[in-house]
Amino acid sequence: MTAAVEFRNVSRHFGPVRAVDGVDLSIAEGSFFAMLGPSGSGKTTCLRLISGFESPTGGEIRIFGENSGSVPPNRRNVNTVFQDYALFPHMNVRDNVAYGLMVKGVDRVRRHARAEELLALVKLDGYGERKPGQLSGGQRQRVALARALVNEPRVLLLDEPLGALDLKLREAMQDELKALQQRLRITFVFVTHDQGEALSMADQVAVFSEGRVAQVGTPAEVYGRPRTRFVADFVGSSNVLPPEMTQRLGGPARWSSLRPEAMRLIPPEGAALSGQVTALRYLGAGTRVVVRTGGAEIGVLVPAGTAVPEPGASVGLGFDRAALHLMDEA
């Protein structure tokens, strides 16, 4: 099957800065693909390369098998939803959604009818006459989605579209975005620095670091089997153990990862690892107990309703051997 988007050794340099540095990626048609990474890791530049707002310094980007190098942005079958929504404040909601069709020369009756269809799709029936300034942040985000979808793109690019929303609304919009993608069955490429967003919505996640892809996989693979220390530390919360500590736990002398929820507190007597509780961090669904042992701090997630030791207490650390995940050196 032809990939919706394919990067072949793609680079984008800005002077001495390698914003994207030899990226290889294949994004399956009809998938929800997340590009996850900290600020400056190259993910947004990759999105702009797909849209045509930036051109590669080297390498090749193919969109449904076609080399996009000579295709201008307005001729690519993609559309973008920006973080700030970029709505026209002087236009009503219906005209904002229909703008792309107006540019294409579609007559007023047909473009307004199509705009109303898209507003119904994003659950904004009856909002067509309002101005963007009369809408909430979540409603403006839906208008931006409808406007991006009105031209029926085969790939929808989303540049941190939920970043301006409060936590509760952001979580609700995550569910709505995923449901919309499954209903439309078009390719979504979603850029975010929020690992919770990426893990909860995406079929595949690419973790970016310093212009390169550190790992690509399903959310379960990236979270449960991180390839590198960076991925283990960035995606969720993990205990990254140096080779000597891994060896003390019965593994080879390699860097390893142990998720806090895979560990438990046990009596210190006879434990392979033991130490002192240095901090407690209440998280609602549980408490993160920080234990200092062998010069390192290890986090253990204790479920809500379970007794929690006081700071200064001596504890042992238990875990299932299968949860100890070995990683590459890089």
Q: Which regions of the chain carry the CATH code 2.40.50.140?
A: 240-326
Burial zone of 204 (CB within 10 Å; 0-12 exposed, 13-18 middle, 19+ buried): buried
CB-based contact 20:46 (threshold 8 Å): yes
Q: How many CA atoms lie within 13 A of 172 on its CB side?
A: 11
Confidence band for 185, pLDDT divided at 50, 70 and 90: very high
The C-alpha atoms of residue 167 and residue 89 are separated, in whole angstroms, by: 25
User: How does pLDDT run across 68-117, given as a tens digit for each residue?
Assistant: 988 999 889 999 888 777 889 999 999 999 999 999 899 999 999 999 99
Sorted by sequence, the CB contacts under 8 Å of residue 184 that are 6+ apart come out as 149
What mean pLDDT is reported for the chain? 91
For the chain, percent of residues with pLDDT exceeding 70: 99
User: To 10 degrees, the CA torsion angle through 70, 74, 77, 82?
Assistant: 120
* CATH code at 240-326: 2.40.50.140
Q: What is the pLDDT of residue 83?
A: 77
pLDDT digits (tens, 9 = 90+) for 238-292: 899 999 888 888 889 999 999 999 999 999 998 888 999 999 999 998 999 999 9
Question: 5-232 sits in which CATH class?
Answer: alpha beta
330 pLDDT band (50/70/90 cuts)?
A: low
What is this structure's pTM?
A: 0.89
Q: Are 254 and 246 in contact (CB under 8 A)?
A: yes
Q: Above 90 in pLDDT, residue 123?
A: no
- CATH 3.40.50.300 boundaries in the chain: 5-232
Q: Model confidence at 231, in pLDDT bands (50, 70, 90)?
A: very high
